[in-house]
Chain A
Amino acid sequence: MSAPELLSYRLWVNGHAREVEGGRLEESLLYVLRERLGLTGTKNACEEGECGSCSVLVDGRLECSCTILAASAVGRDIVTLEGLSPGGGATALQLAFVEAGAVQCGFCTPGLVVAVTDLLARVPEPTDDEIREAISGNLCRCTGYGRIVEAVRRAARAQAAGMRTAP
Chain B
Amino acid sequence: MPVAVPHDLDEVFAALEAEPEAELLAGGTDFMVETNAGRRRPRSVIALRNVGELGGWRRKGGDVVLGAGLTYREMLEPSFATLVPALAQAARTIGSPQVRNAGTLGGNLATASPAGDTLPVLQALGAGISLRRSPQEERLVTVDDLLTGPKHTSLCPGEVITSVRLPASRGMQEFLKVGPRNAMVISVASVTCIVDFASKSVRISLGSVGPFVLRAEAAEALLAERMDWEARRLPAPARDIADVVELVRSAAAPIDDQRSTATYRLHAVGVCAERAIERILRRAA
Interface of chain B residues 7 through 60 with chain A (CB within 8 A): 25, 27-29, 31-33, 35-37, 41-45, 47, 49-50
What does the 1/0 interface line of A25-53 toward B look like (CB < 8 Å)? 11010000000000000000001111010
- Please give me the residue from chain B that is nearest to A6 by CB atom: B2
Q: Which residue of chain A is the closest to B185 with respect to CB atoms? A: A136
Chain A residues positioned under 8 Å from B43 (CB to CB): 25
- Interfacial residues of chain A within 109-162, with CB under 8 A of chain B in the complex: 115, 118, 133-134, 136-138
B242 at the interface (CB under 8 A from A): no
Given contacts A48-B33, A49-B32, A133-B183, contact A62 B98 (CB under 8 A): yes
A91 within 8 A of B: no
- Given the interface pairs A5-B2, A74-B5, the reply to whether A69 lies near B96 with Cβ below 8 Å is no
Say yes or no: A72 contacts B98, CB within 8 Å.
Answer: no
Number of B residues with CB within 8 Å of any CB on chain A:
32
Contact-size category for A = 20 to 34
Q: How many A-B residue pairs have CB under 8 A?
A: 103
> In the complex, A80 Cα to B213 Cα: how many Å?
38
Complex CA–CA separation, A52 to B32 (angstroms): 14
A1 to B49 Cα, complex, angstroms: 32
Given A62-B98, A136-B96, 11 new contacts (CB under 8 A): A7-B1, A25-B3, A25-B43, A26-B36, A55-B98, A61-B101, A67-B28, A69-B3, A69-B32, A72-B49, A137-B99
Q: Residues of A with Cβ closer than 8 Å to B? A: 5, 7, 9, 25-26, 28, 47-50, 52, 55, 61-64, 66-69, 71-72, 74-76, 115, 118, 133-134, 136-138
